[in-house]
Every structure is written in structure tokens, then in C-alpha cells.
Structure 1
Amino acid sequence: DPERTYTELLFASSRKYASWDPEIPVHVGDWGIITRGCRPSWFAFWAHSRPQGIFLKRGNIYDDGLANKFNIPSPKTHEHEGSSGVSWIVSQNAVEVDTSGAVSAQVPELANCGVKASYKFSSGQGAVLCMDGDTIATIDPPGALRPLLDDPTLPEGIVIVSEVHATSSYARYLGTPEVRQVSIGLRVSSPAFPQAGVDANAEWLNSSTAGNFKSKVNPDRARTYYPLFRLVALQGDNVSNGMLLPRDET
């Protein structure tokens, strides 16, 4: 199951959930339950040593009035502070290496990418997520969610989206066990026919013909993709670490 493998690999390194389909909206305050059953094609979550389950969204605490009831602050949005504007999330078996040499010879277009990176995977499958100019919306502090999560009138074991990365441009890659290195770059060029609100033509490139690669660029720069987010659930002190630990499985 490529989706499950990709999500597990990036959860292990980031403690956040990487969406297989970032075009599906995910917003801070979305809440629901983890249940067992057949997994839908786009949304699956699991914890270590726990049976696979699915997240069923039941609402949003800001739309439902729950945030106001429990005095939960509105989300804060933080702009990206990196010098390149691109965030890279990689699996734990990935090590960054030089992008020049053989890779550039294999895919000459990568040499023209203003932003690029190359990763070598030590063993097994590797995963990479790239986000250009992402913002991070968070509930701060995440511990403010504890009273709501512990409310006996709500379904037992609810989980809440407490942090969401939103971006106008992303690329995700899941390699095969045989792939030992991949380079990914973002090539930007001026449009042949400039239009109002459209900055440039942008395209994600990658050096590997094997594996699963998907990328999207929103020409108007609107942040309508949601590649990465955090879930919180009430389980002892785990309210702020994003672990999914339903109470009946402890």
C-alpha cells in the first residue's frame, strides 16, 4: 500500500501526517474519531502497534461552537522563515548529498532549478515531501485542547487537527526498495504571456523514473494544498504530540 508506506515513513521523521492527496482540504480544528473498517482511498491513520483505522471527520470546532465553549484560541498562522522558501520533509533513512555530477547528467533540467536537493536512502523505501512557501496554522498552546478532548458529552476517543501546513506548490515522492537516490528540484521561468496575478511558470522535476511522484503548482500562488498536518488525541500526556492512541487500545 504506497499511501500507507508514505505516511508511515514521514510520520516517523516528523510526527506529523503527510497527506497522499494534498488537494483534499484539511483545516485546523477539524475533529472526528478513529474507527476500524475499510480504509478510504485518501485518509488513513495508525499508531505504532495499533490496528489500522480511519479518521471520520464530524465537524470543525470553530464552526460548531466548541472552540468558544472551551475558550480555545483561534489558530495562528506562521509564514515560512527559510531562506529558500522550500520546506523539505524526508524519511529517516534519507541523507542529503551533492546534487551535481551524475544526477545532473541524467536529468540536465535539474541544473536549471533554482531550488533542488538530492537524497540518498540507506535502506528500504524512501520518502520526500517538498513544500514551496508553506504557511503553518496552529492552535497555540495545543494543551488548550485538553478540556475539549476530555469532555464526556463528546464521542470517546475524538481526535483534532491542531496544525496544518498549507502551500501553493508541492511535490511528494515515494521510492521503491531498489531506488537508492533521488533529486528533486523546482524550476521557475517567466511566462510567455504574462497575466495579472500569475507570477511565473513553475514545475517540479525529479531524477527517478521509478517510484511514485506527484506534484502540483497553483499558478496564482493561492495556498490551496495541504500536504502535512498534526493530530492530537487525549491519552495521558500525549495531548500535544500528535500520537493517535485510542483509549480502548492502551
Structure 2
Amino acid sequence: MAKQSGNERDLTLDKVRIRLRGDLLIDLSVSVAAGEILTIMGPSGSGKSTLLSFLGGFLSSEFEAEGRILLQGRDVTKLPAEKRHIGILFQDPLLFPHMSVGDNLSFGLASSLRGAKRRGHIEAALDHIEMTGFADRDPATLSGGQKARVALARILLSNPCALLLDEPFSKLDANLRQQMRHWVFEEARQRALPILLVTHDEADADAAGGRVIRLDVPKLVTG
């Protein structure tokens, strides 16, 4: 049986090391508590997105990884991405262009939820993100902020146990960026999710509060 983390709702990285062609990119042991936002900062090439790929379960085979990922006391390291119950919000909303807004949200719901109950969950999610009546809209007609809200709502409808944020505010204008930071962080905290944010923007870290881990670009192995 996997060793339990200190808190049953923690996200724990236990001696996680990731290498690329022998070069050590990530060497990290840390726990993120329920409702806490841990910020990982660093320039391009420091391994931020690589770390999220490992946590999310889609790390490229060119990397070598060791260590464990514990979520709610379970060792999920070897589980496929869809069984980890880890939500990821990327820089781009990644809405399905051939689906309506409602169908995009439906994608986050369990297949066992059908009919009126399914539609009710979708409408409630739209009400919550102040987009009532948008179920039949084409995602292409949405503003950047609306797309970001739909993307997060879709993730939250899947009931994740942890949330990863991959610079999700970087493509928004300054006013909207501040608004979205507050909304995303507040939503995640209210749901008591452990949150790991990767960014190169100091303003993101300031808005998140809490601990910050700074990564450097690794020195390459020579010889």
C-alpha cells in the first residue's frame, strides 16, 4: 500500500526528479495542502511545464522521471491521465471548436449523468460563471475572458481532486488578467483543492499568495 500523505487532501510530490538526456531538470519534494496555491516560477527552459506534464500523466517518453505523486493519500504516479482526477487549465482555453458551449461543459460531466439532470448541471455552471443562456453559443463567438471561464467550469464539473494552472492568465489583457486571477483562485480555494500554479509573472505569484518555489534553467551535462 502506498504511504499516506500527511493530510488526506494534499497533493504531494515525493522525491520527484525529471531528466532529459541525463540533464536534471526537476528535483522536488513538496506537499500542497487543500485550498493552498503553490507557485512554481522560472524562465523558459526551467522545466515548469515539464513538471505539470508529469503530474498530469502525459510526460513525453523522451524524459526520464522518478519519484511519486500522492493525491488524497493515493499513489497516482503510474495511473493514466484520465484516472488521476487532476484538472489542468492551460494558457489557451482549448475549447472544442465543433461543439457548443453547453456541449463543451457536458464533456466534463460523468457519462452516467443523463437527460434533465445533465442539462441542469450545465445550466447551473453557466449561471455560476455569469453566462446564463450561453449553452447554444459557438465558442468562437466568446471573448477571451468568457472562454477562460468556460474552460475552468468544464474542469470543475469533472470534480478534480487537484488543479494545475499552466500560465492561464498570460494571454489576457491586464484588467481581465487581474479579474480572472481573483476568480480562479477563489473558486479553487472554495472547493478546497490543492493548486499548483506555474508562471514567469511575478504578479501571478503575488495574487496567489502563499509559497513560491523558483526554478533555474539547468546546467547542461558536458563532456
Given the two structures, how large is their TM-score scaled by the length of structure 1?
A: 0.27
Instruction: Say which structure is richer in helix.
Output: 2
More strand by share: 1
Q: Which has the higher contact order (CA 8 A, sep 6+)?
A: 2
Normalising to structure 2: TM-score of the pair? 0.29
